[in-house]
């Protein structure tokens, strides 16, 4: 049985751990609030921009803009993997990494070549040997900003337009709640024309354009791509902080349970020592009487 001193050392360590995980939970809660607010503000803009692009793509031919034009033969693909830079967030990154590996195994016969780009150290560390590395955007996953998303989007668009890749995918964790985040795959290039359906009927695609359609497309289509990447970064950041907050909350509760258990064992050991000492005192007194 461990001594009381050993129990005290364990209790001190557990209490320090409980304080640390509790503090990390509060920090993650604060970051989650800010990330969720940024996500909500961007969501309305994203919906409006998507609606405009869908209306335009429903009324023009895909050849109207090169980013809307699908390749007749698809041979080369690129995946942009958005993960977190730090750990201690449960299965947040593991689920995404497993999903990417599964997708790569399933698509081996579809593409001649699949390359990888990364936002986030965890994805880069786990998947860098799964395919040829195209780019690694450091710090963008931890601190999402539109300028960084635009830079990544320009490089992706350049790779697509140059013919280096025929299709480009985006994978990240969708934030549903602090308890629920799930990975998703989305094809971001070429941008597929959408059909607008309302009540099962196709909406009219006869519009008058101001400025001219070509000028409007040249501005909106790249902007749509950049914002799609930016919104994915915001979603992933909110999911990361939510997952870390939940993980730290569970860790704090587990530390508290262990503290209660070790305290009980320590008290039992202390009581046993006291009982032993009392028996020794009584036995000594009896010996002296005799």
- C-alpha dihedral (129, 135, 140, 141), degrees to nearest 10: -30
pTM of this prediction exceeds 0.75: yes
Class of domain 34-243: alpha beta
List the chain domain ranges: 4-23+247-289, 34-243
Neighbouring C-beta atoms of residue 119, cutoff 10 Å: 30
Written as tens digits, the pLDDT of the chain (290 aa) is 778 888 899 999 999 999 999 999 999 988 888 888 888 888 888 778 777 776 766 666 655 678 888 888 999 999 999 999 988 888 889 999 999 999 999 998 889 999 999 999 999 999 998 889 999 998 887 788 889 999 999 999 999 999 999 999 999 998 888 788 889 999 999 987 653 334 444 445 566 777 777 788 888 889 889 999 999 999 999 999 999 999 999 999 999 999 999 999 999 988 888 888 888 888 887 777 76
Helix, strand, coil percentages in the chain from 3-state DSSP, rounded to 5: 60, 15, 25
Query: In CATH, what class is 4-23+247-289?
Result: mainly alpha
Contact between 25 and 178 under an 8 Å Cβ cutoff? The reply is: no
Tell me the C-alpha distance between 69 and 111, whole Å: 18
Cis preceding-peptide flag for 190 (omega within 30 of 0): yes
3-state secondary structure (DSSP) of residue 129: coil
């Amino acid at each position: 049985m461990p001594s009381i001193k050993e129990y005290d050392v364990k209790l001190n360590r557990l209490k320090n751990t409980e304080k640390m995980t509790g503090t990390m939970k509060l920090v993650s809660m604060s970051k989650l609030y800010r990330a969720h607010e940024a996500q909500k503000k961007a969501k309305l803009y994203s919906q409006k921009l998507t609606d405009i692009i869908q209306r335009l793509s429903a009324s023009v031919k895909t050849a109207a803009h090169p980013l809307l034009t699908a390749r007749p033969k698809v041979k080369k693909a690129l995946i942009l993997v958005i993960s977190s830079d730090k750990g201690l967030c449960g299965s947040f990154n593991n689920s995404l990494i497993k999903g990417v590996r599964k997708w790569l195994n399933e698509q081996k016969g579809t593409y001649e070549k699949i390359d990888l780009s990364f936002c986030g150290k965890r994805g880069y560390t786990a998947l860098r040997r799964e395919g040829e590395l195209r780019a690694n955007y450091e710090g963008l996953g931890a601190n999402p900003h539109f300028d960084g998303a635009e830079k990544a989007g320009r490089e992706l668009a350049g790779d697509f337009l140059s013919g280096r890749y025929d299709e480009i995918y985006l994978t990240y964790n969708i934030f549903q709640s602090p308890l629920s985040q799930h990975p998703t795959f989305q094809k971001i290039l070429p941008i597929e024309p959408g059909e607008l359906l309302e009540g099962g009927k196709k909406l009219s695609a006869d519009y008058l354009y101001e400025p001219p359609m070509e000028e409007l497309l040249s501005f909106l289509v790249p902007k749509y791509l950049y914002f799609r990447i930016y919104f994915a970064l915001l979603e992933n950041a909110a999911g990361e902080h939510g997952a870390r907050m939940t993980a730290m909350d569970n860790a704090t509760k587990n530390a508290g349970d262990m503290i209660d258990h070790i305290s009980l064992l320590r008290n039992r050991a202390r009581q046993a020592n006291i009982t032993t000492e009392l028996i020794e005192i009584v036995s000594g007194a009896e010996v002296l009487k005799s």
